[in-house]
Structure 1
Amino acid sequence: MSLHNTHKVVAIGGGHGLGRVLAALKDFGNHATGIVTTTDNGGSTGRIRHCQGGIAWGDMRNCLNQLITEPCISSMMFEYRFKGAGELNGHNLGNLILTALDNLSVRPLDAINLIRNMLGVEVNLLPMAEHPSDLAGLSTTGKWVTGETNIDDMQEPLLRLDLDPEVPATREAIHAINHANTIILGPGSFLTSVMPPLLLPELANAIAANTRATVIFIENLSPEFGPAKLMTLQQKLEWCERSFHARPIDVVIGEHAHPELEDRWNCVTRDLASLNRRWRHDRSKLQQAIEEHMQP
C-alpha cells in the first residue's frame, strides 16, 4: 500500500501557513489532520467574537478555502467577502456560516464537519479547543498584553505566552496526535498561529508522549512582524520543545542553511517557494519535502 494510505500525519498551526501544508497533504485524504488555532481576535473574526462569543473561525475558514477540491457555488459563497458601507462591510460569509452552524450544533466540530461535507473536503480539520480563549503575552518590560492583534503590534520581545482563560484541548485532536506517524509545526505566524495549540497542556503532552512520530518544523519564507520578528530560529525551536517538555524536533525544513544549529537539529535546506510568489510555499515542493522525511 502507498504511503498516502497508511501514514497518519497531523499538522498544527493556523491561517495561510497551515492551509498550504494541508493542501500539500491532500493526497493523504482522511489520514491527514489539521489542528487549527482558534484565538484570532482581529478582522471579521474578531467582530463576530465580540458580538456572538465563541471560538475564532478565521483560521479554520482559511484552511477550508485552501482545501476546496472543485470550484462550485458553495465554495464561491463560502469565500465571499462583503464590501461597502454598513455592518456587513469586511465580513467573510464563511465566518458567518460557521458561526451560524456552531449556534445550531452541539459542538463547533459538528459545524466544521457539516461544512467539510458540503465543500467536499476530505482532510480532517479540528479546532485546537472548542471553548473561546485569547492569547496573553508578557513582554520583557513586564507588561501583559491580551489578544492576538495587540501581541502582533508589540515592538519588544516576549518572555512568555499564555491562554486566557485556560481551556481544554479538543479530544479528537489529542487522539490524532496519539496515533500520528508525522507531526508538522508551521509555517505561519510563530507566536499567533504555531504556538497557541502548544499552550494546551494535553496537546503538548500528547506530542511529548508520541516518541515514535517524526516531528517536523517548517520555516517561513518571509520575515515576520512584531515580537516574532525579534526571535531567532533557535529561539522558536526552543519555545516549541519547551512546550512539549524537551521532546526534540526531528527535522527543520527551510530555504536557508543553518550551520550554527546543526549540532542540535537536523536542518534540511530545500527550495520551497512558489515561482510567482516567493513568500508563499509551493504545494508540490512542500509535499515532496515533507514526504522525504516520513518514516515508512
Structure 2
Amino acid sequence: MVIHSQTASDKQALSSLRITAIGGGHGLGRVMSTLSFLDRRLVGIVTTTDNGGSTGMLRKHHQCIAWGDIRNCMSQLANQPLAKEVLNYRFNSDSNLDGHNLGNLLLYSLDALSARPIDGIQLLSRLLKVNNRILPMSEMPTDLLAELDNNLQCFGEIRIDELGTMPQRLSLSPQVNSTPEALQHLKRSDLIILGPGSFLTSVMPPLLVTDIAQAIKKSPAKVIFVDNLVPELSPAGNLTLLQKFAWLEQQIGYQPIDLAISNVSPLHTNIPIVSCVASDQELIHRHDTDGLLTALAQSAQHLLPHMFTETVTDLHSFK
C-alpha cells in the first residue's frame, strides 16, 4: 500500500520522541533534515572512515578524522542562506587548494583551534543555526579493514566499496572508542535509525565501534533500518534485505533491527516492513522527505504504541 503523507500530524506524532540516527553523509543528512523539527531531541552519529577526495587528503597529511560526511549532514541541516553552497564549495585547479572542499577545511581548522573535534562541530553548528546535535562516531582516526574469503585483506573505504563480492568480515583499524556523548544519547533514545546509504561504508562503520554496538544492544530504543531505494554500486548492492540483516548480525553478534522501511518486501521474515516510500522527484536514489516522514511516524507508532494516546498506523502498510 502506498504511504500518503500527512506532514503536520506526522510531525506531531514524532515530536515527543528522542531519536538517534546513524550513518553516512547523504543518507543520514536526508533523515536528519526530515526530522530536523525535533531540534535537540534528534542526534546524528556520523561515520568517519572516508579516505577519499578532500577528506582523504586531509587525513593523509594531518591524521584527523574524516570530515566529509559530517560536512554533508551539516549542509543539509543549515538554516543560513547559501550555507549549503559554501560548505560544499570545492576549489578547482586554479587554486593551491585544488580538490579541497571548503566545508572540510572549515571543520579541520575549527578542530585545530578546539580541545576536541566535537567542540569544532558544535561551533560551526551554532554559526549555521543547526539546532540538531551532530556527533562523530569517534574522535580518533580509523579506517575500514575487510577480510576476504581468500585470506586477503582490503584496506580503506574507497577500495572496499569497489570489491566484487562481500567480505567475510569488516572491522576498524585501529579499533576506537565512541564519544561519551554518543553513548549517552543512545542510552536515552526512544528510536534509533540506521541508514539509508552505502551498507558497508556508511551504515556499518559506527556499528563496528564496540561500545556503540553494545549501547544499542542495551538501549530500550527500537531500531529502524531504512533501506536504499535503488541498489548501491558496491557488493552490498547484490544482497537481499534479509541477507543484509544476516550479514549485519554475523558482524556484531546480535540482530538489532526491529523494523525496516523498504520498498522490497521479503518473504519469511519476522521483521515488520513499511513499504512504498516514494523517491525524490529530482534524485530518484533519495527518499521523498514527506513520504519518509510518514513512514517513520507509522513505524514509531507500530514499535512504541505505549507512547501514543491514539494510533493512526495503517497496519496494511506492514508486510
Cα distance, 1:111 vs. partner?
A: 0.5
Cα distance, 1:169 vs. partner?
A: 0.8
Q: Is 1:184 matched with 2:197?
A: no
Q: Check conservation: 1:222, 1:279, Cα contact below 8 A.
A: yes
User: For the structure 1 residues 19 and 215, does the alpha-carbon distance in structure 2 shift closer, same or farther, using more than 3 Å as the test?
Assistant: same
| 1:1-296 equivalences in 2 (<5 Å) | 2-72=12-82, 75-85=84-94, 87-210=96-219, 212-243=220-251, 245-258=253-266, 260-262=267-269, 264-294=270-300, 295=304, 296=307
Cα distance, 1:3 vs. partner?
A: 4.4
Cα distance, 1:4 vs. partner?
A: 4.7
- Taking structure 2 as the reference length, what is the TM-score of the superposition? 0.87
* Partner deviation per Cα, 1:92-149 (whole Å, 9 max, x = no partner): 1000010011111100000000010000001110000000000000112221011000
* Partner deviation per Cα, 1:237-296 (whole Å, 9 max, x = no partner): 1233345542441111112222x243x311221223112322111111111111112122
Secondary structure at the residue paired with 1:81?
coil
Cα distance, 1:2 vs. partner?
A: 4.7
- Taking structure 1 as the reference length, what is the TM-score of the superposition? 0.93
Q: Check conservation: 1:241, 1:249, Cα contact below 8 A.
A: no
Gaps in structure 1 of 5+ consecutive residues: none
Secondary structure at the residue paired with 2:91?
coil
Kindly tell me the number of residue pairs found equivalent between the two proteins: 292
Cα distance, 1:186 vs. partner?
A: 0.6
* Distance in 2, Cα, partners of 1:240 & 1:8: 24
* Partner deviation per Cα, 1:64-104 (whole Å, 9 max, x = no partner): 001112314x5543232111245412211000010011111
Q: Check conservation: 1:75, 1:119, Cα contact below 8 A.
A: no
Secondary structure at the residue paired with 1:194?
helix
Q: Check conservation: 1:208, 1:245, Cα contact below 8 A.
A: no
Q: Which amino acid counterpart does residue 22 of structure 1 have in structure 2?
A: M
Q: Check conservation: 1:272, 1:285, Cα contact below 8 A.
A: yes
* Distance in 2, Cα, partners of 1:157 & 1:128: 23
Q: Check conservation: 2:149, 2:168, Cα contact below 8 A.
A: yes
Secondary structure at the residue paired with 1:225?
coil
Q: Aligned-residue CA RMSD in angstroms?
A: 1.7
* Distance in 2, Cα, partners of 1:242 & 1:174: 22
Gaps in structure 2 of 5+ consecutive residues: 1-10, 308-319
